[in-house]
Structure 1
């Protein structure tokens, strides 16, 4: 049986797919699993042992601009996907995605599975529509899409799997060496969050960094999304980061490099303290683990539990109504087991 998984979301979303891939392959080793992902996120799972092949399509829209060449590149890709003659195509996501459904149907697979509120809008090519779930973690929601294939969810899914890429690890090693900082002797604190209420304040970061150093001898590496807050596509955190750095703390080291470098630093951190984001899920899958920061927003219908970090070394803190309302004591209590535990090898 040949199955194509269609995944067009962001990096963290694709990382949360890896437990599903691992379980499907473990219970049905006869299945030939393929992944269709874009040129931004495909690297997250490209070497996953459950996959026979990863198909990559270029994003037509990037940074608000249409790439004509990318649109033309879709034509031969669709042709080759149809020639592969998939038995199943699954629009793998925890909710309905019109674009993912249409992309799955375009592969010409014999049967197509997807969440759909109104299946009639897609026509007969959507052979196995399922009602969108209203509860459950994102990974469990994706797992449920394999029910039409006769594959049930396990009592407990495997944890997300991520192997730090060699170039990311090399970037981190070089950056740390330039500053005389050893691996495992720092905590990554992130500011990046689409909503301000999910961010720690500059004052909080300053107090946390001082405590991390004075109590455990750990430095703080500050990461953030570059740019301005009013960017509609990718709201940036430059202003908040500058407020942190203006405090002049010798224990806060700003990282202004690439995303790959951030992932490399997370991979060798004692622990990461970051808001709900893709980075949070990578940190949860790293040896050090994560303290994920959430904020309850009564205007949003999606509960924090849907995107909670998964893993043996993952902790979720939810504030009401903003992360700024979390007490320092709450943060320090959550970080303490990570900061004082040295039982893992790197």
Structure 2
């Protein structure tokens, strides 16, 4: 059986699909290929469960010097490649218009999707189930193929060389506890204030001899396409000169995966970075504002989830985060 799994959305969504990838690829006589976008493809590097990876470039993700005509030409080549592959099944995570278009273009005999209303092009519609984590919901896409097994952990594959290079480049001393503070969040209600990150970093450093790695989305805040937090990160660096804080501006997703692999524990708001932390199997303290923690929470890693009052992470107190962070650390070090 030849399966095409279509996941052309955000980085976090693709990471959350890795248990389904393992489930599908683990079946006998099955070939699993993926259609992903050029922005999220790097999370699949090293994944042993995948055959061919078809790439889709969104127009606003094209590289410097790449013309729009070139993007469309590459898209045509991808369409022909998936058509000639003759897939038996195409699987999409939702009934959104564009993923379904790709499923139909594949010419697959069966199309499996998650949705609430029947669609003529979808042969197997999986109804949304209340109370499910997104990983459980995605794994349900395998049921029409006669597969019924619980999803495993998120799977990201980072080489020892990648991790060692990041440790060497930024002088990370792994003989001490290494904690990651990830300060960026796309949604305003998911953001914690700079001064609170400063207080937390200083309190953790006072508590024990540790190294703190500062993560953020690089770039200027006023960049309309990819707003960054360089100015916020600099404020934290300036205020934390007396502690062992390492600013680590990751230039790409592989660097972020490798750098997070260096950490013993990480704090971040809900978003792609949260799922990267879980994907490299790190204990995580997750701040949730106006997103559903039951649906988007850390999957199968030791964690502490802080649901913000009034759905606003900015209202969370430093004392609460410090208590949850240190409590999680103690549970990890002394499991029952």
TM range, smaller chain:
0.7 to 0.9
Conserved in 2, the CA contact under 8 Å of 1:288 and 1:338? Answer: no
Residue 111 (1) aligns with residue 107 (2): no
Q: Deviation per CA, 1:75-124: give whole Å up to 9, x if none.
A: 22222211211110011x2x43221111111111111122345555xxx4
Taking structure 2 as the reference length, what is the TM-score of the superposition? 0.87
Residue 146 (1) aligns with residue 139 (2): no
Q: Distance in 2 between matches of 1:339 and 1:238?
A: 29
Taking structure 1 as the reference length, what is the TM-score of the superposition? 0.84
C-alpha displacement of 1:40? 2.0
Q: Distance in 2 between matches of 1:42 and 1:269?
A: 23
Q: Deviation per CA, 1:205-257: give whole Å up to 9, x if none.
A: 11111111111211222121123444443332233223323324322332224
Alignment correspondent of 2:217: 225
SS of the residue 2:235 aligns to: helix
Q: Deviation per CA, 1:243-279: give whole Å up to 9, x if none.
A: 3233243223322241333322210112111111111
Sort the Cα spacing of 1:35 and 1:111 in 2 relative to 1 into closer, same or farther, 3 A: same
SS of the residue 2:51 aligns to: strand
Q: Distance in 2 between matches of 1:62 and 1:3?
A: 26
Matches within 5 A, 1:1-346: 1-26=1-26, 28-62=27-61, 67-91=68-92, 93=93, 95-120=94-119, 124-133=120-129, 135-152=131-148, 154=149, 156-165=150-159, 168-177=162-171, 181-182=173-174, 185-251=177-243, 252-259=245-252, 260-295=254-289, 297=290, 303-321=292-310, 322-337=312-327, 339=329, 341=332
Sort the Cα spacing of 1:231 and 1:118 in 2 relative to 1 into closer, same or farther, 3 A: farther
C-alpha displacement of 1:195? 1.8
Q: Distance in 2 between matches of 1:210 and 1:104?
A: 51
C-alpha displacement of 1:166? 5.4
Aligned residues: 329
C-alpha displacement of 1:342? 5.6
Q: Distance in 2 between matches of 1:198 and 1:276?
A: 7
Conserved in 1, the CA contact under 8 Å of 2:202 and 2:240? Answer: no
Q: Deviation per CA, 1:156-215: give whole Å up to 9, x if none.
A: 4201011224564244122232xx633653211011101233122111111111111111
SS of the residue 2:98 aligns to: helix
Conserved in 1, the CA contact under 8 Å of 2:43 and 2:156? Answer: yes
C-alpha displacement of 1:287? 4.4
Query: Please, which runs of 5 or more residues in structure 2 have no aligned partner?
Result: none
Conserved in 2, the CA contact under 8 Å of 1:186 and 1:220? Answer: yes
The ranges of structure 1 where at least 4 consecutive aligned residues each deviate by more than 6 angstroms after the TM superposition are 63-66
Conserved in 2, the CA contact under 8 Å of 1:3 and 1:87? Answer: yes
* Aligned-residue RMSD, C-alpha: 2.7
C-alpha displacement of 1:294? 1.0
Q: Distance in 1 between matches of 2:96 and 2:160?
A: 33
